[in-house]
Amino acid sequence: MKKFYKIENGLVIQGSGIKTPDDMIVVGSIEDTIERKEDGSYYEFYNLDYTPDFEKIQTTLEDSLKAIAKAEAKEAIKVITVTTESGLTFYADPESRTDLSDAISIMVDNGITEYLWKTVDGIKQVTLNDMKEARQLGLLEKGKLVGAVA
């Protein structure tokens, strides 16, 4: 699409189109003023007349922000730690919660109420209730992270 103009009765008359009228002077191409991707193609934020499509821009920005938030939440979930009422700080990422669930199950099945467990602060004697609380707090923390970006 070309940009063109002419001077008529002392006024500048301008326009744009695919074909330039015979009495108009071509001054360039609208495409030259529109930001392009590295591969030379146009971003999808423009209408057919090359004006910005603000609705598409807004949607794209919102989608980008959501994607960033989801990625950040996904990374945050990998490093969740929680502190129980007894002051023990447990790892509560997905793998650690699975380990906690397995250990809780074994402890319950075998009547064990205390166990040595690797906490954030090192190997500590922990109770079955500490482990259950840590697992629950970890799930709640994950829910907050996931729910914040849903």
pLDDT band (50, 70, 90) for residue 149 = low
31 secondary structure, DSSP code: G
Q: Which of 18-32, 96-110, 122-136 has the lowest mean pLDDT?
A: 18-32
- The chain-wide mean pLDDT, for the chain, equals 79
Measured CA to CA, the distance from residue 19 to residue 13 in angstroms comes to 16
Over residues 32-43, the pLDDT tens digits come to 555 556 776 655
pLDDT beyond 90 at 118: yes
Pair of tokens at residue 32: 């030259």
Measured CA to CA, the distance from residue 109 to residue 104 in angstroms comes to 8
pLDDT beyond 60 at 56: yes
Q: What is the pLDDT of residue 117?
A: 97
* Closest CA relative to residue 132, chosen from 149, 150, 107: 107
Higher pLDDT, 78 or 150: 78
CB-based contacts of 91, cutoff 8 Å, min separation 6: 80, 81, 118, 119, 120
Q: What is the pLDDT of residue 30?
A: 46
Over residues 63-110, the pLDDT tens digits come to 777 888 888 888 889 999 999 999 999 999 999 999 999 999 999 999
Q: What is the pLDDT of residue 16?
A: 60
Q: What is the pLDDT of residue 136?
A: 96
Q: For the chain, which residues make up each domain, given as ranges?
A: 2-52, 76-147
